[in-house]
Amino acid sequence: MVRFNPKARLDRSRVRDVGRSGGGGATGMRIPIPGGIGGKGGIGGLVLVIALVILAQCTGIDILGGGSGGGSASNAPKLLTYDACESGGDANDNRDCARVATENTLTGFWESQDIDGFRPVDGLYTFSGSVSTGCGNASSDVGPFYCPPDESIYLDTRFFDQVLEDQLGGPDGLFVEMYVLAHEYGHHISNVIGDMARVKSQQTGPESPGVRLELQADCFAGMWAKAAPTIEDDNGEVIISEITEQDLKLGLDAAAAVGDDYIQRKTQGQVQEEAWTHGSSAQRQYWFTVGYEADSMEDCATFDVDSVQVPR
């Protein structure tokens, strides 16, 4: 299991809990649960739903639940549930504090990459039930997602138990959440470097721009995983002491559990490649591994390769 350095000091400034607010839909990387649009999210009208779907297709980021409203999570009440997260020792003892430590290593890693115009995510916001974001209102039907307008990551912490494990049969373990957060942070990097803006069509399928965006985020997650045990706090202490081979296997298993083909088999009993929006299990595992073995961000240039299929 991942171990954090007890001597490391944690920066809680970007990790916040915003409780309950709003309701409805959102944009982001999520697990496509059947019946999402038009389901219990509360649709604000058919025209809005169609507009949201088109927006999702054009950005390569999915919508689940629809909804009206907007606003920024920074205006929501802060519950300050992370106040006790001060050290790597706290991260070893508490899953919430491990989330803070993970965000710290993600920010530290991407700061070290000398990316033109880099800025950290505005926030990593946890919520329960619903939350108001710069992309609209998100219900708990939505899994973890990145919102480009407010450059923030949102996470209903019940997702891993209720959806990934119970509904999809995915793996359980701390590194599963770490992989998902690294993927969402990868979307932020794609946004910063301008690759997110390259998704302009409504095309789906294993070579589509949206799939290339998702696989780039997986590749970026792999880059972080390789470097994570070397990332230090402001005092020069590494934050993560160890990521084991078992942790990496959990990450790969999680990548497989959110593959389009796997989800289609689980939810509809057949695979339709032309409908893929995130990539197959094999594609997601492959690009995570490419990132883990990468020498630079150029190795994750999924928009610039002829094919993002797994080489035979």
Over residues 8-55, the pLDDT tens digits come to 999 999 999 987 543 333 333 333 332 222 222 221 222 222 233 333
CA atoms within 13 A on the CB side of 211: 26
What are 89-109's pLDDT values in tens digits?
A: 999 999 999 999 999 999 999
Report, in this order, helix, strand and coil percent for the chain, each rounded to 5.
45, 10, 45
Give ∠ CA 274-279-280 in degrees, rounded to 5. 95
CA distance 125 to 162: 19
Pick the more confident residue, 34 or 164: 164
> b/e for 76-112, b at 16 or more Cβ within 10 A?
beeeeebeebbbbebbbeeebbbbbbbbbbbbbbbee
Q: Which pLDDT value is given to residue 172?
A: 78
Q: Which pLDDT value is given to residue 80?
A: 53
Strands 62-64 and 3-4: unpaired
Q: Enumerate the β-bridge partners of residue 146.
A: 153
Q: Enumerate the β-bridge partners of residue 126.
A: 17, 155
CA distance 101 to 8: 9
Is 109 in contact with 240 (CB distance < 8 Å)? no
- DSSP 3-state of 145: strand
CA distance 136 to 33: 19
Sign (positive/negative) of CA torsion 246, 88, 121, 236?
negative
pLDDT at 73 over 70: no
| φ/ψ bin of 136: left (φ > 0), alpha (ψ from -120 to 50), beta (otherwise) | left
Determine the angle formed by the axes of helices 209-227 and 281-292, rounding to 10 degrees.
Answer: 40
Query: Hunting for tokens 């350095």 — which residue is that?
Result: 5
Pick the more confident residue, 78 or 153: 153
CA distance 37 to 89: 42
Q: Which pLDDT value is given to residue 246?
A: 95
Percent of the chain residues topping a pLDDT of 70: 79
What are 241-276's pLDDT values in tens digits?
A: 999 999 999 999 999 999 999 999 988 999 999 999
What are 192-211's pLDDT values in tens digits?
A: 999 999 999 889 999 999 99
Q: Which of 139-143, 156-160, 260-264 has the highest mean pLDDT?
A: 260-264
Q: Which pLDDT value is given to residue 141?
A: 72
Q: Which pLDDT value is given to residue 77?
A: 42
Confidence of residue 167 (pLDDT cuts 50, 70, 90): confident
Kindly report whether the global pTM for this prediction surpasses the value 0.85.
no
Q: Which pLDDT value is given to residue 103?
A: 98
25: burial class by Cβ within 10 Å (0-12, 13-18, 19+)? buried
Tokens matching residue 152: 């923030």
